[in-house]
């Protein structure tokens, strides 16, 4: 009996020790991961996806204006114009494929707009010429040249080939106040398809600058036209300290306007006092993920 008691006590001690060990392992697994920083991820060899959105409070209805793919210190920007909920549960490959399709579709819409504007401008100038509204022989000649240019260049609008976005450089400017980082400005750019196509459809600039016939400006390729995104003009002063859920996916990231929740959100919705703002979002990998502003020592980051 005495031997049995000793064995039972020994077994209990072993179990207690084992459970204590499990507790330590569980505690270690609960260590909060390092906060996510834009530039720190962008400089990695690994590919990362960010969503530039706009709207009142981040939700499934937030509009994705651009999808960003970062890798090796570069950013590839696709014009999307979709809802955040529309990308719910997408894998990275699926999200990028959808963004590529949306960017090409955006180009095609601008291509159609340029063609329509060119045709309308030709009709307008032709009517002006035929109605005898222009008396000066020199001005009539300029109008005739402009009409000819519109006709000649319109085929270029139709035959322009889409050029997919390529990795571009980016920069981050930190905002410092009272010796503390209070926000950051993340600057990157996308193709300016509208600016490129206007070369073929804009007769006004030819008439104004007299750049007609042999003296007309040379046509530049799509790769020469870029514009900064709306979010690139934004100073992100707020950030998610924990993931924000939209349908199923959860996001962290940077905010122009502070995210509202609970009773305050209900009250602001009722009063229609929620402010529009840009956000730069990253899909969270766990419920303990968070966002932090970049460090000045990181490549491509400077103090404003």
| 66 and 179 part of one domain | yes
Closest CA to 68 of 87, 85, 59: 87
Q: Which residues of the chain have pLDDT under 70?
A: 1-30, 203-217
| 290 and 234 part of one domain | yes
- Residue 78 inside a domain? The answer is no
- Strand-pairing partners, residue 254, are 239, 280
| 208 and 122 part of one domain | yes
What per-residue confidence (pLDDT) applies to 276? 93
Tally of domains within the chain: 3
- Per DSSP, helices labelled H in 210-261 are none
What per-residue confidence (pLDDT) applies to 101? 97
| 22 and 53 part of one domain | no
Q: Is 51 helix (H, G, I), strand (E, B) or coil?
A: strand
Residues 263, 138: Cα–Cα separation, whole Å:
69
| 209 and 281 part of one domain | no
What per-residue confidence (pLDDT) applies to 240? 95
| 24 and 95 part of one domain | no
| 111 and 64 part of one domain | no
What per-residue confidence (pLDDT) applies to 14? 47
- Residue 83 inside a domain? The answer is no
| 94 and 121 part of one domain | yes
| 43 and 181 part of one domain | yes
For 139, the domain range is 89-164+192-221
């Amino acid at each position: 009996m005495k031997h049995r008691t000793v064995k039972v006590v020994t077994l209990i001690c072993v179990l207690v020790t084992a459970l204590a060990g499990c507790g330590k392992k569980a505690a270690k697994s609960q260590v909060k991961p390092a906060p996510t920083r834009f530039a720190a991820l962008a400089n990695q060899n690994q590919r990362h996806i960010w969503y530039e959105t706009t709207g009142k409070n981040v939700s499934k209805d937030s509009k994705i204006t651009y999808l960003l793919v970062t890798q090796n210190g570069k950013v590839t920007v696709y014009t999307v114009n979709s809802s955040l909920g529309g990308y719910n549960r997408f894998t990275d490959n699926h999200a990028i494929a959808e963004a590529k399709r949306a960017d090409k579709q955006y180009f095609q819409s601008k291509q159609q707009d340029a063609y329509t504007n060119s045709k309308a401008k030709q009709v307008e100038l032709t009517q002006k010429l035929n109605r005898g509204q222009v008396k000066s022989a020199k001005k009539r000649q300029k109008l005739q040249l402009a009409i000819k240019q519109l006709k000649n260049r319109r085929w270029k609008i139709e035959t322009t080939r889409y050029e997919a976005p390529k990795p571009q450089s980016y920069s981050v400017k930190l905002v410092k106040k009272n010796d503390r980082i209070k926000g950051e400005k993340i600057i990157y750019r996308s193709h300016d398809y509208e600016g490129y196509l206007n070369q073929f459809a804009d007769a006004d600039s030819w008439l104004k600058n007299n750049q007609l016939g042999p003296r007309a400006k040379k046509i530049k390729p799509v790769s020469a036209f870029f514009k900064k995104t709306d979010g690139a003009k934004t100073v992100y002063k707020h950030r998610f300290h924990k993931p924000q859920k939209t349908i199923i996916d959860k996001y962290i990231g940077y905010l122009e306007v502070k995210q509202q929740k609970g009773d305050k959100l209900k009250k602001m919705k009722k009063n229609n006092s929620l402010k529009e703002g840009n956000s730069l979002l990253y899909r969270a990998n766990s419920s303990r993920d968070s966002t932090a502003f970049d460090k000045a020592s990181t490549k491509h980051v400077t103090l404003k």
